[in-house]
Amino acid sequence: MTLDPLSLTSSEFVAAAFASGRSKFDALAAYRRFHRAGERAQWMAPCAAAPVQQLVDDRTVKFLLSVGGDLETESVIIPMPHRGGRFSRTLCVSSQVGCAMGCTFCETGQMGLMRSLTVREIVQQLHVARFGVTHPFADETRASGGGFDIANIVFMGMGEPMDNLDAVLQAIRIFCDMNGPAIGCSRVTVSTVGRTAGIRALGEFIQQDGLRRVGLAISLNAPNDEIRSTIMPINRAEPMALLRQAMVDFPKRPTSALCAEYVLIPGVNDRLDHADELCAFLKGIRCSLNVIPYNPRRNSPWPAPDDATVDAFVDRAIANGQFTKRRRTKGRTAMAACGQLGNERVRQRKFVSLAIDPPATRE
């Protein structure tokens, strides 16, 4: 019987190993070696050893993993610079191949949904980032050889995590397992288009010990329903008032993060009165605002915004009393930047239906 450390927490893995005649001590040691040193025991389920493709743009690395049926996951390793020229790294993981949400500014949204990923396909992205990708930067060394030390995980790759929530929650349990990858739960963030049922389910999930500081990011992207419904079809089914109430109700802790993401698109949502309206919407919700300059998808109708417009928008939000950060764009030329993941080759395929009600209409 093969056991799968990519699908099971350490306690589940040890219980399953014990039931199949292995010692608990040996099983736990093997689980730790797998997640901490990349050593796979022969009696464990196979795991992808390396990406099928790896692209580098400056210090951002995008890699693709095959998940069968000519489908691939896309993941991005993003450098976070620190003093002294050192880097920590954030891994952006996919929860689905493609996405059914159809946001008009997003490359993945143009693909449609191919299918949701399994737990092992999500966790495997971290494993390969740590032990499978080729480290391309000669001026950085890593004690254990190839791969990257990953400090943070964000569910901001392909897919809507709330549409694959059971798998996402189990993946988070594994990411944060102190006998496994041991990512601190405050370093894991789930980003959603605004599925309110999923936000509430995540709020329940993080009531558990050891998971209380998992972060939530809301992809807001508009100051009002009129604009949001034109760029995010989900808004026609779940308008901003519903979303705001879910954000208000989401359990917040002094050290945990609730973040509103705002992709700034020229001529769509970038005016200063939009900033005022947005801040009025966020008033009273304890959250930070993250302004992301639009990264043009393929065949984009919009260009990227200029720096002056982004800075003016951020300054106006700050002047409104809203804690606001500007995200620096990384990986744009490798189509690895935010909103740019997605394989053009598979766009022609049929969509699959969702387990949860889709937006009322879609583009």
Any idea which residues carry the catalytic annotation?
338
The nearer residue to ligand SF4, 311 or 363, going by C-beta atoms, is 363
Q: Judged by CB, which is closer to ligand SF4: 99, or 304?
A: 99
- Of 51, 92, 50, 59, give the one whose Cα is nearest residue 332: 59
Distance of CA 191 to the CA centre of its chain: 6
Amino acid sitting at position 105: F
Q: How far apart are CA 15 and CA 20, in angstroms?
A: 9
Q: How far is the CB of 231 from ligand SF4 (least distance, A)?
A: 9
Lookup: tokens for 180: 């496994």
Read out DSSP for 31-70? HHHHHHH-PPPTTBPP---S-SEEEEETTEEEEEEE-STT
SS3 call for 132: coil
Q: Which residues contact 167 (CB under 8 A, 6 or more apart)?
A: 95, 116, 117, 118, 119, 122
Q: Given the complex with ligand SF4, which of 47 and 106 has the nearer CB atom?
A: 106
Radius of gyration from C-alpha coordinates of the chain: 20
Closer residue to ligand SF4 (CB): 44 or 106: 106
Nearer to ligand SF4, 310 or 338 (CB): 338
Residue whose tokens read 């979303």 = 243
Residue type, 123: V
Q: Where does the chain show beta strands of DSSP type E?
A: 53-57, 60-66, 72-81, 87-92, 96-98, 113-116, 152-155, 188-192, 215-219, 258-264, 288-293, 324-326
- Residues near ligand SF4 (CB under 6 A) are 99, 101-103, 106, 108-109, 158-160, 193, 219, 339
Closest residue to ligand SF4 using C-beta atoms: 109
CA dist 19 and 25 (Å) reads 13
DSSP letter at 177 equals -
Q: What is the closest distance, in whole angstroms, from the C-beta atom of residue 237 to ligand SF4 in the complex? A: 13
